Structure 1
Amino acid sequence: MNLLLQAVVVQELPADGHENRTRLGMLAGWASTVMSALMAAAKFFLGAASGSVSMIADATNNLTDMGSSLVIALGFQWSRKPRDEDHPFGHGRIEAVATLVLAIALILVGTEVARSGIMRLVRPQPIEAPVWLLVAVGVTVAVKAWMAVFARQLARLSKSQVLEADAWNHTFDIVSTFMVVVALVCSKFGWGAVDGWMAIGVAGFILYTGVAYAREAIDILLGQKPDPDEVRQIFKTVLAVEGVMSVHEIMVHHYGDVKMVSFHIEVDANMSLVDAHLVSERAEDEVEKHFNWRALAHLDPVDRSHPLFEELNDALHWFIRNDPCLVDVHDLRAEGEAPPYRISFDLVTDMETRRSDYDAIYQKCLSTMERVFGERINHVEIGIEAAVESAPMARRKYDLPQV
């Protein structure tokens, strides 16, 4: 096994890098395709020889394994295509599309296998289970165990969720084949109905795998929230850059195994435009160096030296602590050399808060600002957005009357 991996992996590159990840995925896919095809053929023969519907169901399960492995191999191969004008972010998501097609096929096959099992319960038939048949099935279990170990090793090296799922699929196959063995042994004692029940059990494994694959593929295609650990690491990496005062609105975009990250950084408003740009470039470089992702930073100038800033910061953080809908505040600005000042800021709500609830938040926040600052402010600009929202930020401006 190690010699095979050494022949495939480019030693000078990281094992979970794009090139080696693709090579490992294709190796796992094609190896599993060939082995599953041989296993399916053998089990169809054994099922026909014994008359066991659960054995034929297990052969059908291996046939779907061959299809899933073929999808994995082709998915990795297609995702290897370089980006082009029509697909500037590459072809990484084709793996998810292929997985969804496979999932639908698995669900259809599982339904048909369950129907066959039910029919066997309705019309039981005798099963031949000689010793040589049990030995042959035992050999297929050993082969499947090797395939599960091999797939899990490749998944660990490549850090591929698809290969990890494939390894679990092989593990489930061992359980389903064991169920066939139980049916064959029971048939020797005249318990033929067990064959139908075992076929239904195998169908359950197929259906479970199909639904799991479908959910995973749909999540990828719809867009998943970023891993909290990844967000924390990005936050720490960017905040450590000299000149960065704060970080917010971290977004991670997935395109197969290609990721892009965007984030907002707060910098000193008194910094020159050139210096601020250099800070943003350093932040992008640090993220790209640590994560090997494309990074894009947005600059938010903040003047923390303004005489009203600290009081505004304290008032707003008190406000969000006392409003269960709010989770954060950023882009605080106080403008003007003398009272009355102009203030602006952006509030972040939780995902459950609806935009129709924003009116109440605006009024509560405006009342709080008027109560705290009184005549020291004459203009308030409030932005509201939901956490990780793609819709434009809602924003309102208020001119306050001066006595």
Structure 2
Amino acid sequence: MQTNEKNRAGNEKLCTMPCPAMSFLLRKVLDPETPPDGHENRTRLGMLAGWTSTVLSALLALAKGWLGLVSGSVSMIADATNNLTDMGSSLVIALGFQWSRKPRDEEHPFGHGRIEAVATLILAVALIIVGAEVAKSGLGRLIAPKPVEAPAWLLVAVGVTVAVKTWMAVFARRLAKLSKSQVLEADAWNHTFDIICTLMVVVALVSSRMGWGAVDGWTALAVAAFILYTGLTYAREAIDILLGKRPDPSEVRDICRAVASVAGVMGSHEIMVHQYGDVKMVSFHIEVDAKMSLVDAHAVSEEAEHAVEKRLGWRAVAHLDPVDRSHPLFDELNDMLHLFIQEEDGLVDVHDLRAEGVAPPFKVSFDLVTNMETHHDEYGAIYERCLKAVGKAFFGRVGQAAIGIEAAVESAPMARKCFNVPAS
């Protein structure tokens, strides 16, 4: 009950905006008892942004298209085409958020959240196509200049479209901030670029009145550059999400802090973050004392999962790695390997360290972690240097070493090899 009251008060504050129309729309859409970035409110805000932008973009495209035909301005027609593309991309956004509301099913156990990235990619492709067509029109106008009619009433009409676009940009950015949605943030930037493009059209119209007709063609090319840049940026971001980009370092640090706060955890590694729209899952390995009972170790893993879920609000899965620190060689080997890592530019950590045997020569095993810039072709040299360092530090005391090498974040299996350690 207290949580609902807190959410209701917070949403009421968020809905209070300088523009009455924005406040009215937010109050109509938001569920007052859940946070604005929760799944239900997030999809509602996305649909509101998409449908509002679709209607207004369609009206702007019609208005600018008519103004472009009346004036003969290719840059105005290019701007109208850009708004027409905005209408299509906004429709995709609205439908994408509506689709993302579908509950998980047998074929999609993690829901349909990644449809947002698909919507962003479709938006990006549309922008790239339109940008190319606008550039083609601008080049044609430079090659074959034509007079442009730019009466004062036309400039006033264009100014009105700028005011409408400014409202759309502010509204979209507000919804993006509330929902924490990347696709809405992209849509807000798209509206911002549209404002810049329309202002450039105003410059072209004013220049045409002064007899500088070539400015119209150059403005069309500049508008095309904005559109292409925006499309390529969105495409890269959407593809990164669909392919699975590496997690944010700050998120990884939060996970490590949450796990480290649990009593009984001796270390953590192999942190993997999986994102499905606004749904995130994390898996990680935790090191515990090998002498701990299975029941106690399982309790520690569950507590670590709960700590991460409480801190980040994600589903967490922990894997147990037992570590036996009682071996007389363990501390010395641990210190030697951490010193070796400090001297190696490509290495960042070591884990799963084990030493076996009651008398020399002992058997040891450990896993080295590389940074993301270290290529697999460099692993051979790392094996060689590490084996040499172990042989030098433990002359005659270590006979075999099983060494694994893995990247900090990687889906490929670990590269592991066993070596006979040289006695000198």
CA deviation after TM superposition for structure 1 residue 338, in Å:
4.5
Retained in 1: the 8 A contact 2:350–2:368?
yes
Taking the aligned partners of 2:128 and 2:410, their CA distance within structure 1 comes to 33
Alignment of 1:269-284 (within 5 A): 269-284=290-305
- Pairing partner for 2:146 from 122, 125, 128: 125
Shift of 1:337: 4.3
**1:31 counterpart = 2:52:** yes
SS in 2 for 1:297: strand
Q: Does 1:233 align with 2:254?
A: yes
What TM-score does the superposition give when structure 2 sets the normalisation length? Answer: 0.91
Residue type at the aligned position of 1:195: D
Q: CA deviation at 1:135?
A: 1.0
Larger mean Cα displacement after TM superposition, 157-166 or 35-44: 157-166
How far 1:34 sits from its partner (Å)? 0.6
TM-score (norm 1): 0.96
Contact 2:73/2:216, CA 8 A, preserved across alignment:
yes
Amino acid aligned to 1:119:
G
Counterparts in 2 of 1:135-150, with a 5 A limit?
135-150=156-171
Give, as a single letter, the amino acid of the residue that structure 2 aligns with 1:302. Answer: V
Tell me the equivalent position of 2:286. 265
2:109 is the counterpart of 1:85: no
Partners of 2:422 and 2:84 in 1: how far apart? 76
Partner Cα separation in structure 1 for residue 204 and residue 417 of structure 2:
70
Asked whether 1:362 is paired with 2:383, we answer yes
1:112 alignment partner in structure 2 = 133
C-alpha deviation, 1:222, in angstroms: 1.6
> How far off is 1:241 after superposition?
1.0
Question: Could you say which residue in structure 1 is the equivalent of 2:329?
Answer: 308
Identity within the alignment, %: 73
Q: How many Å apart are 1:77 and its aligned residue?
A: 1.2
| 2:369–2:408 contact (8 Å) kept in structure 1 | yes
Moved more, 350-359 or 138-147: 350-359
1:296 counterpart letter in structure 2: V
Partner Cα separation in structure 2 for residue 345 and residue 261 of structure 1: 24
Could you tell me which amino acid in structure 2 is paired with residue 391 of structure 1? Answer: A
Selected match of 1:327 from 332, 337, 348: 348
Rounded Cα–Cα distance in structure 2 between residues aligned with 1:95 and 1:360? 43
Deviation at 1:54, TM superposition (A): 0.9
> Residues 279-298 of structure 1 correspond to what in structure 2 (within 5 A)?
279-298=300-319
- Equivalence for 1:255: 276
Matching residue's letter, 2:304:
A
Q: Show the 5 A alignment for 1:170-209.
A: 170-209=191-230
Distance in 2 between residues matched to 1:180 and 1:354, nearest whole Å: 49
Aligned mates of 1:152, 1:104 — CA distance in 2: 22
Amino acid at match of 1:100: L
Residue 371 of structure 1 corresponds to which residue in structure 2?
392
Equivalent-residue separation in structure 1 for 2:128 and 2:150 (angstroms): 29
Q: Give the Cα separation in 2 of the matches to 1:372 and 1:30.
A: 68
State which of 17, 32, 35 in structure 1 corresponds to 2:38: 17
How far apart, CA to CA, are the structure 1 residues paired with 2:404 and 2:411?
15
Please name the residue that 1:242 is paired with. Answer: 263
After superposing the two structures, state which structure 1 stretch, 61-70 or 122-131, moved more.
122-131
Distance (Å, rounded) in 2 between the aligned partners of 1:282 and 1:325: 33
AA partner of residue 330 (structure 1): H
Give the 3-state SS of the residue equivalent to 1:379 in structure 2. Answer: strand
Trace 1:148-159 onto structure 2 (pairs within 5 A): 148-159=169-180
Q: Distance in 2 between matches of 1:36 and 1:125?
A: 28
Q: Is the 8 A contact 2:390 2:421 kept in 1?
A: no
- Which residue type is aligned with residue 184 of structure 1? L
Point out where structure 1 has 5 or more consecutive residues left out of the alignment.
none
2:242 to 218, 221, 235: 221
Three-state SS of the structure 1 residue aligned to 2:395 is: helix
Moved over 6 A (4+): none
Query: 2:51–2:90: 8 Å Cα contact kept in structure 1?
Result: yes
CA contact (8 A) 2:391 2:423 kept: no
The 2-side partners of 1:186 and 1:389 are apart by 55
CA RMSD between the two structures: 1.7
Give the Cα separation in 1 of the matches to 2:89 and 2:57: 10
Match of 2:366 among 337, 345, 352: 345
Instruction: After superposition, give the CA deviation of every residue in 1:212-264 in whole Å (9 maximum; x if it has no partner).
Output: 11111111112111101111111101110111111111111111111111111
Q: How far apart are residue 118 of structure 1 and its match?
A: 1.3
- Structure 2 CA distance for partners of 1:338 and 1:12, relative to 1, 3 Å: farther
Instruction: Write out per-residue CA displacement over residues 36-94 of structure 1, whole angstroms, 9 at most, x where no aligned residue.
Output: 01110111111111111111111011111111211211111112212222222222222
